[in-house]
Amino acid sequence: MSSTSEDPDSGIPPAEVPDLPPPHAHGFWSRWVFSQDAKYIALQYSGTAIAIGLVALVLSWLIRMQLGFPGVFHFISAEAYYQFITMHGMIMVVYLLTAIFLGGFGNYLIPLMVGARDMVFPFVNMLSFWMYFAAVVVLAASFFAPGGPTGAGWTLYPPQAILSGTPGGTQWGIVLMLVSLILFIIGFTMGGLNYAVTVLQARTRGMTLMRMPLTIWGIFTATVMALLAFPALFVAAVMMLFDRLLGTSFFMPALVEMGEHLSYGGGSPIVFQHLFWFFGHPEVYIVALPAFGIVSDLIAVHARKNIFGYRMMVWAIVIIGALSFIVWAHHMYVSGMHPYFGFFFATTTLIIAVPTAIKVYNWVLTLHRGDIHLTLPMLFSLGFIVTFLNGGLTGLFLGNVVVDVPLSDTMFVVAHFHMVMGVAPIMVIYGAIYHWFPLITGRMLSHGMGLVHFWVTFIGAYAIFFPMHYVGLVGVPRRYPEIEAAFVPDSVATLNAFITVAALIVGAAQLLFLFNIAWSLRFGRRSGLNPWRAASLEWQTPDMPPRHGNWGEALPVVHRWAYDYSVPGAPRDYIAQDDPGPAAAWRHEP
Amino acid sequence: MSIVLGFVALMAVIAFAWLSRQGLADKPWLETGAVTRIPSPGGRPTGRVGLGVFLAVVGGLFALAGSAVVMRMGYADWFALRMPGVVWLGTALLALASLCLQSALMAARRGDARASRAAFGAGALATLAFLAAQILAWLRLAETGQGLAANPGASFFFLISGLHGLHILGGLVALARVAGRLGHGAPPRRAVPGLELCAVYWHFLLLVWLAMLALLSGWASDVAALCRAILT
């Protein structure tokens, strides 16, 4: 155990990192466009991610319209359907979720929550956003390119991804997708270096790792994972680009297409699958770990209770991060592998459920006998816990080889991953926006509109994805725009129509959320300082919203962890992290 | 994938060794005030920590490329590339560049501006010569029927040497910034932090290149076979 002191300032070492002023903006361009302030960069990241996310939302409507009412919408051809599902998946996973959690929340919260003035490499941080922006532009450009975007499925499996039978395969679609991914990864690496090194180097005095809020633990671990996992996608994308443009055969076996021998030969699509899933599975946790961290903080603040099992929560985050690198081949059970190989990956997959379950128990135990305020962040957090639990349980089914093989490529898988890494993290994003909106803008979001948004989204998400499990269980395959087969009962068509109506309503509720943001920016109630009475450092800035440099004259000094809520004897029901307090008076006894 | 798994295991060991010194067993809910046992952040220069993290990313990238080579080597149509002589010359030049930058760093630490500038210039020239040698190697391979799409070994050589060359080019941008600090009249110690980072980066890229060359030229084919055997 660390030594502690009665005198709150004694022994806190002087700041080894010189407190240098961050680069100042001198005009419109350097303040709003090429800003080097992490807070502005966070807003740029989030704005761009939400904008491209809206495209993904519209695509999901189109996908559902086709599935719910096949043959009614003539402009949705089979090719267009493949393009919609591909772009929807890739945008949601990479360009929205990864970007908003790490580029958005990471940029805004890391410096503020660890007590830094800014990121350690502000110029590189600025470049990171502009690389991301270029990646989004290139991706969006594929909608307007000859042949349209790629329709290879978000996994971009070769050989079909670069053959003429796939939309965009021999035209621009796949090329733009791969270039966009390469740009995204370069941009992310620049940003990721900042997030990781800022946590390592720029924590303020007294901010030990075990005093960091779990939000930072989640973002930090996810960043380290992403820095190690994204190179796999980078290598795969470059190799496929070579195959497509320069005629190499990294992934392309000998093929006959329309009676004609192609020039490819000898390559292995399985090599691509290994590279893709070496990125793809950690990617699930790259999205989930920041969500785990954020939701832990939201629950503690809005239940006025310290987080249950903080140490366990930290260890679980680190262990999940490490384990996620040795489970990738559970996405490849049907690609043909040695049975022991499948056994190994099934075992590691099930082991990951242990630290994950610990986290769920700890969230529930934090709520137990807490002073629960049913604020919007709390509602979304509760929605997350239930949804993540549901999605996680179906993951246990799919992690087992014998169950996975018949369920592979069915709508059951689609329902599973939408629950666990679609709806669940998006619940957290909404909870986090409702929670930190006052910090960013100085105003509160409308509670009434937020309630409608929450209930329609929560109930609607279940109306969409719960029945989808059944559709998958009866054997309906994914990625088919229309299916008429003897094994598909009529009830599937009815359910599909129901799901589509639910999806359209849920989508419309997201527009209400955007309206709430716009309305509250102008008319929202002023929040004042620290409206949620939170203990973590980002709420203790001298100004709300925090100004350039975050902390005014002097950096804060941290005296305690971020979860001192409802401490017996304390004058308020929270003690801020930078509050020295009358030494030892409020301390819990061991 | 055993190469990249080995790399990830190495990263995990480093991460856990570091975390074990960060008081992960502490009970923060019992502690207020100062925590004196745990080293404070910022003990090392930020640039050095940043480079360390970046090298982990670059290492991962080449470990993955190496893993792809090892997987591909298991197929019947694979054969080792006949390396043109200029590849070995280029390798020697990169080693020379690495050595020169180390000498420049040591001279700068001693305060010997003249020797530092000379070694630095030689290092930069050797690096440019290495890049030229790589381009010559590409041309020579294409002339001898081992072009980009001719066989899998050649494809991987072009891919990996291209990626490696791009990293060297990025390093040259950093080197140009350090050159400004080593300019005439400036005290050489001012350039030490930058030179240190460049030297480490060059040593690392030399190691990466040697490993990739061993894999592509067939020297490490036994190791590659062992890697494949572990995961099959």
- Domain containing B198 — which CATH number? 1.20.120.80
Q: What pLDDT is stored for residue A590 in this prediction? A: 37
| Residue B32 predicted with pLDDT over 90 | no
Q: What is the 3-state secondary structure (H, E, C) of B138-164?
A: HHHHHHCCCCCCCCHHHHHHHHHHHHH
State the residue range of the domain holding B131: 2-23+43-231
Domain-located, residue B29: no
A 10 A CB-CB count for A24 gives 11
Domain-located, residue A421: yes
Domain-located, residue B87: yes
For B69-113, the DSSP string reads: HHHHHTSTT-------HHHHHHHHHHHHHHHHHHHHHHHHHHT-H
Phi first, then psi, for residue A477 (nearest 5°) are -75, 155
List the 103-132 stretch of B: residues with Cβ below 8 A of A. none
Contact (Cβ atoms closer than 8 angstroms) between residue A391 and residue A420: yes
Residues 6+ apart with CB under 8 A from A469: A394, A411, A412, A415, A416
How far does CA A233 lie from the centroid of its chain?
17
Taking contacts as CB-CB distances below 8 angstroms, the residues of chain A near B193 are none
Q: What is the 3-state secondary structure (H, E, C) of A225-251?
A: HHHHHHHHHHHHHHHHHHHHHHCCCCC
**Residues A434-443, mean pLDDT to the nearest whole number:** 96
Contact (Cβ atoms closer than 8 angstroms) between residue A503 and residue A61: yes
Across A234-238, A320-324, B53-57, least confident range:
A320-324
Euclidean distance between CA atoms A246 and A249, whole angstroms: 9
**Residues A237-253, mean pLDDT to the nearest whole number:** 93
Number of structural domains (chain B) is 1
| Residue B3 predicted with pLDDT over 90 | no
Domain-located, residue A8: no
pLDDT band at residue A15, thresholds of 50, 70 and 90? very low
Domain-located, residue B64: yes
Domain-located, residue B38: no
Q: What's the CATH number where A504 sits?
A: 1.20.210.10
Which of B1, B30, B232 lies nearest to residue A274, judging by beta carbons?
B1
Euclidean distance between CA atoms A321 and A317, whole angstroms: 6
Taking contacts as CB-CB distances below 8 angstroms, the residues of chain B near A232 are 4, 60, 64
Contact (Cβ atoms closer than 8 angstroms) between residue B156 and residue B72: yes
**Residues A23-38, mean pLDDT to the nearest whole number:** 83
Which of A2, A16, A201 lies nearest to residue B23, judging by beta carbons?
A2
CB distance B75–A208 less than 8 Å?
Answer: no
Contact (Cβ atoms closer than 8 angstroms) between residue A286 and residue A220: no
CB distance B35–A10 less than 8 Å?
Answer: no
CB distance A232–B4 less than 8 Å?
Answer: yes
Phi first, then psi, for residue A142 (nearest 5°) are -65, -20
State the residue range of the domain holding A143: 34-249+280-540
Q: What pLDDT is stored for residue A348 in this prediction? A: 85
**Is B142 touching A (CB cutoff 8 A)?**
no
Determine which of A1, A2, A195, A327 to mutate to test the interface with B (most B C-beta atoms within 10 Å).
A2
Q: What pLDDT is stored for residue A334 in this prediction? A: 74
Determine which of B4, B26, B31 to mutate to test the interface with A (most A C-beta atoms within 10 Å).
B31
Q: What pLDDT is stored for residue A470 in this prediction? A: 94
pLDDT band at residue B31, thresholds of 50, 70 and 90? confident
Contact (Cβ atoms closer than 8 angstroms) between residue B119 and residue B175: no
Number of helices (H) and strands (E) in chain B: give both, helices first: 7, 0
Residue count (chain B) = 232
CB distance A2–B1 less than 8 Å?
Answer: no
Domain-located, residue B90: yes
pLDDT band at residue B49, thresholds of 50, 70 and 90? very high
Q: What pLDDT is stored for residue A11 in this prediction? A: 40
Residues 6+ apart with CB under 8 A from A581: A8, A559, A560, A570, A575, B32
Interface contacts (A, B; CB < 8 Å): 206
- What percent of chain A stands above pLDDT 70? 95
Q: What pLDDT is stored for residue A588 in this prediction? A: 47
Phi first, then psi, for residue A157 (nearest 5°) are -60, 130
A 10 A CB-CB count for B80 gives 13
| Residue A18 predicted with pLDDT over 60 | no
Domain-located, residue B32: no
Q: Report the DSSP beta bridge partners of residue A477.
A: A410
For B46-63, the DSSP string reads: HHHHHHHHHHHHHHHHHH
Domain-located, residue B36: no
CB distance A121–B50 less than 8 Å?
Answer: yes
A465-499 pLDDT, tens digit each: 999 999 999 989 998 988 887 888 889 999 999 99
List the 20-59 stretch of B: residues with Cβ below 8 A of A. 22-38, 40-44, 46, 49-50, 53-54, 56-57
Determine which of B29, B46, B55, B151 to mutate to test the interface with A (most A C-beta atoms within 10 Å).
B29
Domain-located, residue B121: yes
| Residue B80 predicted with pLDDT over 90 | no
Mean pLDDT of chain A: 90
**Is B174 touching A (CB cutoff 8 A)?**
no
Residue A580: C-alpha distances to residues A208, A576, B55, B95 (Å): 16, 9, 40, 55
**Which tokens belong to A562?**
């971020």
CB distance A15–B56 less than 8 Å?
Answer: no
HSE at residue A554, side-chain half, CA atoms within 13 A, is: 7
Euclidean distance between CA atoms A68 and A299, whole angstroms: 37
Determine which of A120, A127, A197 to mutate to test the interface with B (most B C-beta atoms within 10 Å).
A197
Taking contacts as CB-CB distances below 8 angstroms, the residues of chain B near A192 are 57
Check whether the bond before A545 is cis (ω within 30° of 0).
yes
CB distance A583–B54 less than 8 Å?
Answer: no
**Is B10 touching A (CB cutoff 8 A)?**
no
- A266 to chain B, minimum CA–CA distance in Å? 7
pLDDT band at residue B230, thresholds of 50, 70 and 90? low
**Exposure of B133 by Cβ count < 10 A (0-12 exposed, 13-18 middle, 19+ buried)?**
buried
**Residues A364-387, mean pLDDT to the nearest whole number:** 96
| Residue B36 predicted with pLDDT over 70 | no
**Residues A520-528, mean pLDDT to the nearest whole number:** 94
Euclidean distance between CA atoms A240 and A524, whole angstroms: 49
Kindly identify which residue of chain A lies nearest to residue B48, measuring between CA atoms.
A197
Number of structural domains (chain A) is 1
CB distance B53–A9 less than 8 Å?
Answer: no
Q: Report the DSSP beta bridge partners of residue A410.
A: A477
